[in-house]
Every structure is written in structure tokens, then in C-alpha cells.
Amino acid sequence: MKPAGLIGLLALTALAVAVLYPVFMPVLVAGSTTTATTVDTPITSTSTPANTTASTNTTVVEDENEVEVEVEVEDEVEAGNGTVDLVIPLVNLSRAIDLAYTMRNITYELFQWELEHNITVANVTLNLGDKFLERALNLSESNATRRAATFAIVAAIHYGHAPAFAHIVLAKVIKSNLGENYTITPNTINAIVQAASELKSILLNAVNYTSGKDINTSPVALWIERGDEKIAEAQQYLNESSLKEAFKHAVSGYESYVKAYSTLVKTVFIYYVKYEQVFKPKPLPVMKGLIEKLPAEIRAEIEARIQRGEVKEVKDIVKEYTKEVRSRIEERRREEAKVIAEIVSKALDKLSEHPGFKKMFKERELKEYILKLAEEIHSRTNATGLQLLQQVLEELQNRLQQSGGHGLNIREEFSRSVYNISEEDED
């Protein structure tokens, strides 16, 4: 496999992360400044203080697969040299600490594996989790139960980040096992398969740890099964000397195990939160129909404000929030189109003087042409992220053929050029 194919794949992945990460990653802790403290020995205590439930305002959103519980904590919590405002699940102290220990126990081996691959952020995150858990235990002894529960939940959240760092391990494994001129070799495939095997072994240990609890790990098993299939197919393609397919399936298998680990972490967290008896919002019969029609992004916030008695004219608040949310969504989509236009135009710049290609966008700049094209496609199909990028490349190919640009392959040129762009940026 040529470096272009690999780098093209990595470029698409990077674009997906850049575009989708701000949309889906919740802000759990804001405005904090913390210092990591190294913990040389694992925390192994399993003591749990008496049950205590915080008196707070809550919002609950449930479906058959998951439950989201938000609690507004009135007090600020000290963290390092600053403070943070937290939104945490309403879980009693005993169960919050149990959650933190469980999350640590199912991720500790994964953290250690990531540290063996020199993933610095894994070390920082593990140390922060240990610091918050230690603070929770100290506060529980002084009867500061609400604050102790808060720190225990924050510790659990930090431990839950472990699967995400496995992506960095994969990137390092690939980079360190490429052949000359960044080419895929059998050694590259074998290294990925070996890393996937190690990750699966750690994952199975974590699953076994949860077997004594009433936690449904069926979704995790499905992802593991998919990973096994992809790895087996990768090895088959490798035996047939089809390196491109072997690489693709090996990466897919590894990522399936990462997804399985992430699913396990989420399942454990949901298990502890859903188990608790939580306060639900009081019925709002008059406004129920109106609130149910709100965008999901603001429904919980509106209900919480109603519970606190902060909302008097609901329609005005709904109108204000809806307008703001729609504005943010449109702005995000415009920025996404700009990112795609920047990447594609830079990658295809060498083709701008080709007669058929130049005829296609006439006197306009290539970047401007692609930006308008991306906006048109989004308006027509509502595509975003990788889907939008793929449709832009496909539409460019179609228009190029109509303009007499036969023999040029937009996708191949894009993949081939992305690597060069990456090198230039590093220089």
C-alpha cells in the first residue's frame, strides 16, 4: 500500500475528530486548573462510608438503553489551585465511591498498557483520577458527604477516559512499524494485530471483573466478536499478500476492541447511576407538550430552570434558547464547510491548471469553488463530517468528467496529496 492510501485514511479520521469532537464531547469540568499528583501504589481499598444523598436540583432523561442524570451542585469544588463548577449524577456517597473503584479497576490495566507505549496523557489522567478519589475518601471521613460524592464521581469520569487513549497507541504502533517511504509492510500488519491481541486480553480481564455484578455486557461482546472477525480477515488478507485490505481490516479490528472497551465503561457508569433512586422533575402538564418539542440540546436546561423557579415566561425562554442553538448549529456547519474546503483545495492545488479541472471552476479560486460546493451539498443532503467530505470529492469527480477531465481521479489525487501537506505543515 502506498503512503498516500494510509495518510488519506488518517486524514479522513483526523477530519472526523476535528469536526465531530466539539459536537459530541460534553464539557464535564469547566474553568479548572489542576495539578497531577503521582500515586506510586494502586488504590485498593474498598471501604464505603454510610449512604448519604445530596439535596440538589436534578434532571433525568431516560430511554431503554441509557439514562442521563444531571444535578446542579450549588457549591464550587476546590481542585488544585482553582475551582470548578460540576454537573454530576445524583448518587449516594457509598455508591459513588464504589463506582470510582469499579471504574479504576476495569481501566487500571489499560492505563498501564498505554503507559508502556509512552502515552503521557494516560499517566496524567490516571493520576488525576487517583487524586480525586483520595480527596473523596478524606472528605468522607470528615462527614463532608456531598463533596466527597462529587470528587468520587469526578474520579470515575477521569478513569473512564482510558479507552480513548488506545487510539494514540494504535497511531504509534503504525508509525513505528512502517517500511521505507512510509509504506505498509507485513510487519506493520503484524504489529497492529499484536497490539489488538494485547488490547483484547486487557478488555476480557475488565469484562470478567464485572461478571459478579448485574451488568449487561452483551453489547460489549458484540463489539469483541466483530473485532475478532476483522482481525481474522486481516490475517487472511496478509497471507494472500493483500496488504491494503489486511491493513484496513487490522485497524478495524483494533478499533472494534476500543469501541468494546468504551461501551463497557459507559455500561458500568450507567449501571451505577440508573440503580440509584433519583429525583425526577415535577409534572408540568400545561407546558409538557411545548417542552417535548424543544431541541434535545436545551430541553434539560429548560426543565431544570423551571424546577428552580427561574422561568416565568416559558415561551420567551424557549424562543431565546432555540434561536441561540440554531445559530450555533449553523455556525458550526459553516466552519465545517470551511475546513473541508481548506483541506480539499490544498490537496488538489496541483490540478488547478489542468484544462478540464480549470474549466470546471472557471475564474474562481479553487478554495472558493469547493466551499460553495460543500455548502450546496450540505443544504441539499444535510450531510456533515466525513460524509460531506466524501460527497464533495464525488461531486468534483462527476463535474470533472463533464468538463472533459477524463483520466483524473479526484480521490486518488486527494489521498496522494494529503501526505505532502502534512509534511509541509510539520516543516
Residue 248: left if φ>0, alpha if ψ -120 to 50, beta else—which one? alpha
**Worst-scoring range by mean pLDDT, 217-221, 245-249, 364-368?**
364-368
How high is the pLDDT of residue 114? 95
| pLDDT tens, residue by residue, 38-65 | 233 334 333 333 333 333 333 333 333 3
The dihedrals phi and psi of 116, each to the nearest 5 degrees, come to -65, -25
Highest mean pLDDT among 14-18, 64-68, 73-77, 348-352: 348-352
124: helix, coil or strand? helix
In the chain, the amino acid numbered 141 is E
DSSP symbols for 301-342: HHHHHHHTT--S-HHHHHHHHHHHHHHHHHHHHHHHHHHHHH
Mean pLDDT, rounded, of the chain: 71
DSSP symbols for 214-275: S---HHHHHHHHHHHHHHHHHHHHHHTT-HHHHHHHHHHHHHHHHHHHHHHHHHHHHHHHHH
- 73 pLDDT more than 70: no
How high is the pLDDT of residue 106? 94
Highest mean pLDDT among 4-13, 78-87, 104-113, 322-331: 104-113
Q: Provide CB contacts within 8 A for 76, sequence distance 6+.
A: 83, 84, 85
For residue 347, name the pLDDT band (cuts at 50, 70, 90): confident
In this structure, how many other beta carbons lie within 10 angstroms of the beta carbon of residue 155? Answer: 28
Strand intervals (E) in 1-143: 29-30, 57-62, 67-72, 77-79, 82-88
Contact 344, 370 (CB under 8 A): yes
For residue 77, name the pLDDT band (cuts at 50, 70, 90): very low
The dihedrals phi and psi of 346, each to the nearest 5 degrees, come to -70, -40
- If you ran DSSP here, which 8-state letter would residue 181 be given? G
For residue 125, name the pLDDT band (cuts at 50, 70, 90): very high
Highest mean pLDDT among 74-83, 238-247, 370-379: 238-247
**Worst-scoring range by mean pLDDT, 134-148, 222-236, 321-335?**
321-335
How high is the pLDDT of residue 321? 67
- 104 pLDDT more than 50: yes
253 compared with 281, residue with greater pLDDT: 253
305 compared with 136, residue with greater pLDDT: 136
How high is the pLDDT of residue 113? 96
How high is the pLDDT of residue 308? 63
Overall average pLDDT of the 268-279 stretch:
67
| pLDDT tens, residue by residue, 204-217 | 999 999 887 888 88
- Residue extents of the structural domains in the chain: 31-280, 288-325, 331-426
Nearest Cα neighbor of 157 from 20, 26, 316, 339 is 26
Overall average pLDDT of the 176-192 stretch:
91
Overall average pLDDT of the 232-247 stretch:
93
Helix then strand then coil, in percent of the chain rounded to 5, is: 70, 5, 25
The rounded distance, in Å, linking the Cα atoms of 340 and 329 is 17
